[in-house]
Amino acid sequence: MRGTSANHGLCVVSMFCSVVLGLAGVYFMTKHGGEWKLTSKPALAGQSLLFLVTQSFTLSKVSRDFLSVHEDNVGRPTLAYYNQVLLFWVIALTSSMYSAATVSDVAEWTSFYTMDLVWVTVSAICLSKAVRDQSEADAFESLSKEEQPGALHDMAPIIRGTYMYKFFVWVSCLGSTAMMMALMWSWPTSSLNTDRKLLVTVGDLWCLISVFHVAKLVRDKADRAKSRQLKKQVAFQALVWASMLGSSS
């Protein structure tokens, strides 16, 4: 349940990069003639981006408590509060999508900002889960041996993962890939010719497959039994990392 330090570190890096690059993109896409002014468009784009981040963190926490905590537990949020949080997240997402459609007339910049909205949402929810998992793992380890079985029963839904989180992971993975390709292929050939679009498409699919292999490799190395087996498979590990680096470059 605790997760690896590498996973927690990647979540932090992803969250930081998605926000910084998103705000930097807003700056450059609203810069005209070498001069930038804080008008309503960049202000709304930056505000809606940060609003989406905060609401994604809140939605992640409340959804986890609502779906995994037993109904008789006083810590379980009410349905009204859960719906309120969900409503504000939808408002934040709608505001962000409106900004994406109006902040720039250049298709490439619109695509960049749209993809960054997906990125910050995924990063916020994954980071929230990683931090929460570590906190609850520490709390479980601080309990006495007599208290741990009862606590383990209460934590079972959290350890398995809520169905909403599993659905979100699959949708974000497949949806972001499909969205990236659709946006890229919508660009005019003057921006990116067909041959390069095909190259990027193949590279993106290659990178997607390589990421799954690397994630499984890192998870297996954290397991003592599987780690001993992997020590005899040096060539396989080298191939996995070479595929990851090759697809990324």
Amino acid identity of residue 180, one-letter, is M
User: Are the C-beta atoms of residues 106 and 142 closer than 8 Å to each other?
Assistant: no
> Are 240 and 213 within 8 A, CB to CB?
yes
For the stretch 93-145, pLDDT in tens is: 999 999 999 998 888 889 899 999 999 999 999 899 888 888 877 877 787 87
Provide the pLDDT for residue 208.
85
pLDDT at 163 over 80: no
Q: How far apart are CA 22 and CA 112, in angstroms?
A: 8
Assess contact for 121 and 55: CB atoms under 8 A.
Answer: no
Query: Band of the pLDDT at 157, cuts 50, 70, 90?
Result: low
User: For 32, phi and psi rounded to 5 degrees?
Assistant: -125, 130
Q: What is the pLDDT of residues 52-95, one digit of tens each?
A: 999 999 998 898 888 777 777 777 888 899 999 999 999 999 99
Quick check: 126 and 11 in contact, CB under 8 A? yes
Q: What's the confidence (pLDDT) of residue 113?
A: 93
Looking at residues 196-222, what average pLDDT do you find?
A: 86
Contact criterion met (CB below 8 Å) for 47 and 74: no
**Other beta carbons less than 10 A from residue 157's beta carbon:** 15
Site of tokens 């408002």: 91
Has residue 6 got a pLDDT over 90?
A: no
